[in-house]
Structure 1
Amino acid sequence: MIVDGIGSFNRIDFSSLTYEEMRRFEFVDLQTAYDFYNEYGRIQGFSIRRSKVGRSTKIGSEGEILWQIFVCSRQGERDTKHIHRVERKMDPRPITQCGCGAQIKVHVDHSTGRWFVDKFCDEHNHEMLDARFRGLLRSHRVIKEGDMHQINSMKKAGMRVSILFRAFATQCGDLRQLDLKLKTSTMQ
């Protein structure tokens, strides 16, 4: 199945995708593959980030991207030298990485120019986040370009933040459905 953008995500049931189904997807570009896995993570209850990238053999980082791995944001572990540091001036940040193995690797097919799922692992070693808190995860706190343009236009027109919230709540159907990302962006 060819995924050509965010608009085609509504045809996919992200809550019950299997390994075989995931391997059948093809994406028109790398950003669409990232958006796809990010939406999958949002529905499942985890955040994602970009990890390793493979490039063609041109010098430096100028090579064409051949493959990319997207991982659960809790993948990896903090280096022990940072955990047991003695000369610390501030309290350490909470440890969020727990060695989660969930990831997806996408690879480009040079004959078609499309990206396909090369590897997929959905084995998490942590709890998934409840639906009401998923908007707080880092990879899901992105404001759509159209919404940002509308926010800036309303601000330039002199609309107060409370009126702006009501306008967006009317579009969403209810103030409770309004994303946190939108709420935080209007305060800036």
Structure 2
Amino acid sequence: MEPNNHENDGGECDWKPRVRMTFDTEQEAYNFYNAYGGRMGFSIRRGYVNKNKEAQITSRLFVCNKEGFRGVDKRDPLTKNPRQEVRTGCQARLIIKWDRNIHKFFVGEFVEQHNHIFVPTECTHMLPSQRKISASQATEIDLAEKSRIRLNAAFELMGNEAGGRESLGFTKVDQKNYLRMKRQNSLAYGEAGSILQYFREKTLENPSFFYSVQLDSEE
């Protein structure tokens, strides 16, 4: 769905956020800001959220992925491959607020300036918030898993077919997360789902109750 008030008035870009621009949903606002980030060359993520008693979002912060600074690295200081610092304390942000009179979200604040360089256009598809697995790629991943092809081998194969791993539009971690979420969702139904629901209810009744789940090759 296209967000409202995107018409080009006074020379404003219809793809650029501006104060008082309205959206029907929080997800619509996220998608618009993310599309703007992809066009400019930066990644975004969700920040704080405020909700009322009815669990309706009243305000939401979206930030540049380089906002803040990384916490203390608790890994072995002698590690051979320390994680690269990627955050720069960037203050770029978009804040949306709920207007109960018109039942829409509106942009309450938009900070455009970044304190870092943008990613080149040819690389924006690999930014964290831009990466995604298409329906056809998901089918290939599913088929590879059913054929017992190892994750690394499947990723390399798909990368070769796409003309290089950088052309896939997702990473090996995204592939692994996709499969994990798929397995978790499959457990929500049938006999296994009933057992898990029982365990969750027991946890609510008794906070000291503990359970863990391990999947076999048949999930």
TM-score range, shorter chain: 0.5 to 0.7
CA 1:131–1:30 in 2, change beyond 3 Å: closer, same or farther? same
Partners of 1:87 and 1:185 in 2: CA distance: 28
Corresponding position: 1:180 with 2:176: no
CA 1:185–1:156 in 2, change beyond 3 Å: closer, same or farther? closer
What is the total number of aligned residue pairs between the two structures?
Answer: 163
Pick aligned residue for 1:27 from 23, 28, 53: 23
Q: Mark the structure with the bigger radius of gyration.
A: 2
Mind listing any 5+ residue stretches in structure 1 that lack a counterpart? 170-174
Q: Deviations over 1:143-170 (max 9, x none)?
A: 34x4456546876998xx879x87xx7x
Q: How many angstroms does 1:46 deviate by?
A: 0.2
Corresponding position: 1:72 with 2:67: no
TM alignment of 1:80-159, pairs within 5 A: 82=72, 88=77, 90=79, 91-144=81-134, 146-147=135-136, 151=140
CA 1:121–1:148 in 2, change beyond 3 Å: closer, same or farther? same
User: Partner residue of 2:208?
Assistant: none
Q: Which structure: greater helix fraction?
A: 1
Partners of 1:29 and 1:86 in 2: CA distance: 40
- 4+ aligned runs moved over 6 Å, structure 1: 152-158
Pick aligned residue for 1:55 from 51, 55, 61: 51
Partners of 2:17 and 2:129 in 1: CA distance: 23
What RMSD, in angstroms, separates the aligned Cα atoms of the two structures?
4.1
SS at match of 1:23: coil
Mind listing any 5+ residue stretches in structure 2 that lack a counterpart? 148-153, 180-219
> Percent of pairs identical after alignment?
27
Corresponding position: 1:44 with 2:40: yes
SS at match of 1:74: coil
TM-score when normalising by structure 2: 0.57
Q: How many angstroms does 1:142 deviate by?
A: 1.8
Partners of 1:70 and 1:114 in 2: CA distance: 17
TM-score when normalising by structure 1: 0.66
